[in-house]
């Protein structure tokens, strides 16, 4: 069942700067720097049967994202891991989405932020499949976004920073308004990049191709799926992919902590089949995160 309550009005607890507080009391001031100048970084991770998948990798990336934006978190990877696990347990959850977020506080207002204090919070809630399972089994439909991923010399593209998702939201809204499920984004050069919140993979003649992540996140799920494919002896090529090449691929799928492994039926004018190889990788990933054996 989908929880229809707004995210500010729920039961439970949120870990906030070192302690659990009631969900409705986890608030920040209106003049918080991150709200005005996008100085927040975050992670999205899933717990399966009480275990948060790749937790320490997520916590390390959170610290690195903050460092890229110019501030250091006083919490170690182990302390962030502990906060995530404490939040999961306090809310009585085993299968859930977990959201750590760090931000600059309200000690200083303006573009300069040297006097601001870093904060950290962790929330967790029940969140089912990112896309409708029946739809995803057939392959979702992607629009082609008008917005493009920026060059790494114009934005901190290696950071999972909140500000970088503004164009993702705009692109996803436009896609949904036009009857699509999500959007495929190109980069500033016109090369294929990713979806609005997930990495992209393509299959041709049994070989997997995926864009080089030089201006978008090298996702943790992305790396996991590449490893799963290589353990099956499947070639994975990370390279430049131009839009005109998309018509030559037979299959396409997306990867992400929220999206997991999602089949794609079409992206703009290009159509794909949901084939055995993408189904196999989706099954392998599902078995891995749920602690089941992977048959090879």
261: which strand partners?
255
| 3-state DSSP assignment of residue 9 | coil
Taken in order 286, 290, 295, 296, the sign of the CA dihedral is: positive
What phi, psi does 26 have (nearest 5°)? -85, 80
Strands (E), the chain: 13-16, 19-22, 41-42, 45-48, 51-52, 96-104, 118-125, 140-144, 182-186, 192-195, 199-204, 207-211, 236-239, 251-256, 260-267, 270-271
Which DSSP symbol is given to 113?
A: -
Our answer to whether residue 160 is catalytic in this structure is: yes
Strands (E) in 57-107, as ranges, are 96-104
Q: What is the C-alpha to C-alpha distance for residues 71 and 65, in angstroms, rounded to an integer?
A: 9
CA-to-CA distance for 210 and 192, rounded, in angstroms? 9
Annotated catalytic residue within 129, 160, 172, 231: 160
Roughly how many angstroms between the first and final C-alpha of the chain, as a whole number?
Answer: 35
How many Cβ atoms from other residues are within 10 Å of residue 274's Cβ? Answer: 17
Locate 295 and state its tokens: 């048959």
Provide the annotated active-site residues: 160
């Amino acid at each position: 069942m989908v929880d229809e309550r707004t995210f500010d009005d729920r039961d439970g607890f949120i870990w906030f700067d070192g302690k659990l507080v009631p969900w409705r009391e986890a608030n920040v001031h209106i003049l918080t720097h991150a709200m005005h100048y996008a100085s927040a970084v975050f992670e999205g991770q899933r717990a399966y049967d009480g275990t948060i998948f790749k937790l320490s990798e997520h916590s390390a990336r959170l610290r690195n994202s903050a460092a890229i934006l110019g501030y250091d978190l006083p919490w170690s990877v182990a302390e962030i891991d502990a906060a995530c696990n404490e939040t999961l347990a306090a809310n009585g959850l085993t299968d859930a989405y977990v959201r750590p977020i760090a931000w600059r506080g309200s000690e200083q207002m303006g573009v300069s932020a040297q006097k601001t204090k870093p904060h950290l919070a962790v929330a967790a809630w029940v969140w089912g499949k990112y896309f409708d399972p029946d739809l995803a089994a057939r392959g979702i439909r992607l629009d082609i976004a008008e917005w493009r991923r920026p060059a790494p010399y114009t934005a901190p593209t290696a950071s999972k920073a909140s500000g970088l998702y503004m164009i993702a939201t705009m692109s996803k809204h436009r896609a949904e308004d036009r009857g699509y499920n999500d959007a495929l984004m190109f980069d500033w050069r016109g090369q294929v990049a990713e979806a609005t919140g997930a990495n992209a993979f393509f299959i041709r003649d049994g070989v997997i191709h995926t864009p080089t992540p030089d201006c978008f996140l090298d996702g943790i799920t992305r790396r996991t799926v590449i490893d799963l494919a290589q353990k099956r002896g499947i070639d994975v090529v990370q390279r430049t992919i131009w839009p005109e090449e998309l018509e030559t691929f037979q299959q396409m799928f997306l990867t992400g902590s929220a999206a997991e492994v999602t089949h794609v039926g079409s992206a703009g004018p290009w159509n794909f089949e949901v084939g055995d190889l993408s189904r196999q990788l989706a099954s392998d990933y599902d078995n891995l995160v749920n602690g089941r054996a992977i048959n090879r």
